[in-house]
Amino acid sequence: MDSKVNEPPTDNKLNHATDHSKMTGVDIDAVDIRMSKRKLNLAKTLHAEIV
């Protein structure tokens, strides 16, 4: 699991996705959407545990 989960999102996420798409040829939008959904679900889970 990424240890930077609690840090606010920065440009690094976009840069990483860009680098990833260059290496693999994967569409950056698809990567970004998947990452966003994962982070959203993770946030919901963490919020549920806190509450």
Q: For 1-26, what is each residue's pLDDT tens digit?
A: 455 555 555 556 656 655 655 656 66
For residue 21, give every residue at least 6 positions away whose Cβ sits within 8 Å of its Cβ, in sequence order, or none.
27, 28, 31
The residue ranges of every structural domain in the chain are: 21-50
pTM reported for the whole predicted model: 0.31
Would you say residue 44 has pLDDT above 80?
yes
CB 21 within 8 A of CB 33: no
Could you tell me the two tokens for 29? 């939008």
Q: Mean pLDDT, to the nearest integer, of 22-49?
A: 74
Which amino acid, residue 30? A
